[in-house]
Amino acid sequence: MTYDYDLLVIGAGSGGLAAAKRAASYGAKVGIIENDLVGGTCVVRGCVPKKLLVYASQFSHFYQDAVGYGWEAVKPKFHWSKLTEIVDTEVNRLSQLHTSFLDQSKVDLIRGQASFLDARTIIVNQGQGKTATPQTFTADRILIATGSEAILPKSPGIEYALTSRELFKLQEQPKRMAIIGGGYIGIEFAGIFNALGTEVIQIVRGDKILRGFDDDIRTHLQDAMHQRGIKILTESQVERLEKTVNGTVLSLIGDSAPPTVEVDAAVLFAIGRAPNTADLGLDLAGVAMTDRGAVAVNEWSQTTQPHIYAVGDVTNRANLTPIAIDEGRAFADTVFGNTPRAVNYANIPTAVFSQPEVASVGLSEDMARERQGQENVKIYRSIFRPLYHSLTGSTEKTLMKLVVDRQSDRVLGAHMVGKEAAEIIQSVAISLSKGATKQDFDNTMALHPSTAEEFVTMS
């Protein structure tokens, strides 16, 4: 049977773009369908614009720290509208760049909302309402790469809440802001707005932020955020939101929670993300889903339909941009390049661009003790004031930690809170992926004076 395409990709985010371009490089006829800006969550409303906001917010610290180094104190003035304008311009530039890369790769970009008609046919609705023009396309193979969307609870007044998608479009900087959720998205935005001068209240369901990270990391960062002026309400939940003349009132429940908190209109819900499968018509294609709402796949990213695949956040495996890219390329290498390979999910480095920054690779202390046994894990930990802060007057400290298997001496995990944590952990991740031991770290000559040297001098 003849099809319109060798491969149709649904979603032009990180995973979809990587797969489409790689498949086209092998000679496949490829189309990619997107109803939004090309680039996906990371480029359009995630990693990239968020990191630009992090950079912008950090200048407030530089102004303060400079005084300790002999610079005269100044009173800088920040313009939120200027920042959002230039970030939006950069996002659009990057999106257009990704579009041009598709053109250079000879991948057809199909604009519109995609859904399955059957296992081989995709209908794409271009436009909305009565002006919508449906088109159908068939393909030998189909790749689902639709990413994820922010979760909102069904609480009264939730229509007044924001997700990270809307936060980048705020017309005015809030004076008082509530952030619900203690995961990396909520933590990062708390740091951004706090540094820009917004009064931030963070409401966390558990007793600590960053569930799933090493416990020392969680405690250290939470204390540092308190010191920077962020108010964190733990073991608290939002019961309802009510609009008032002055802003928004949040009614809270929890043993340590105040009855209400009043802020401006900015209430960010960052309680997690869910695979974006709505309106895809997966049932019509015979594609099974997991009990958590993700597209079910095997190690080759193959769904229950052998010719339909899925990569990225929509599979809810490891929801990180580099993972989606590698999954997309591995799919193309396997299916179109005759070089089968599966993605290695071991020792994935992770960063939280909080203030101060967090980065980890490998096992946390609790995970290591659970897997290796309590007595078979040795911990190396260092907490110190970095040289940078010796003149700023700040009491903020850096935390660095190694988790080591006592029997083999292999380093199982590395964790850090402090300046440039992500840049440092990226290099440490190479060592872990090669099976480095603590002795290998000890045998590595230190680079002095640097923060990174602490990883090779711990005893």
**Residues classed as catalytic:** 448
Long-range contacts of 158-162 (CB under 8 A, 24+ apart): 158/241, 158/269, 160/241, 160/243, 160/248, 160/265, 160/267, 161/241, 161/267, 161/268, 161/269, 162/266, 162/267, 162/268, 162/269
Structure-token pair, residue 373: 């046994």
Task: Give residue 264's identity as a one-letter amino acid code.
Answer: D
Where is 176: in which H helix or E strand?
A: strand 176-180
DSSP 8-state secondary structure symbol assigned to residue 156: T
Q: How deeply is 291 buried, as exposed, middle or buried, from its count of CB atoms within 10 A (0-12, 13-18, 19+)? A: exposed
CB 311 within 8 Å of CB 317: no
Residue 448's contacts (CB-CB under 8 Å, 6 or more residues apart) are none
Q: How far apart are CA 326 and CA 324, in angstroms?
A: 6
Gyration radius of the chain's alpha carbons: 24
Q: Is the peptide bond before 306 cis (omega within 30 degrees of 0)?
A: no
Q: Which of 21, 19, 14, 10 is nearest to 40 (CA)?
A: 14
Q: How far apart are CA 396 and CA 393, in angstroms?
A: 9
CB 417 within 8 Å of CB 220: yes
Backbone angles phi, psi at 113, to 5 degrees: -95, 125
Structure-token pair, residue 179: 């952030």
Structure-token pair, residue 284: 């019509």
Instruction: List Cα–Cα distances, 60 to 195, 351, 385, 414, in angstroms.
Output: 6, 22, 20, 30
Q: How far apart are CA 157 and CA 170, in angstroms?
A: 19
Q: Which of 203, 186, 211, 229 is nearest to 64 (CA)?
A: 229
* Dihedral of the alpha carbons of 389, 390, 391, 392, in degrees to the nearest 10: 30
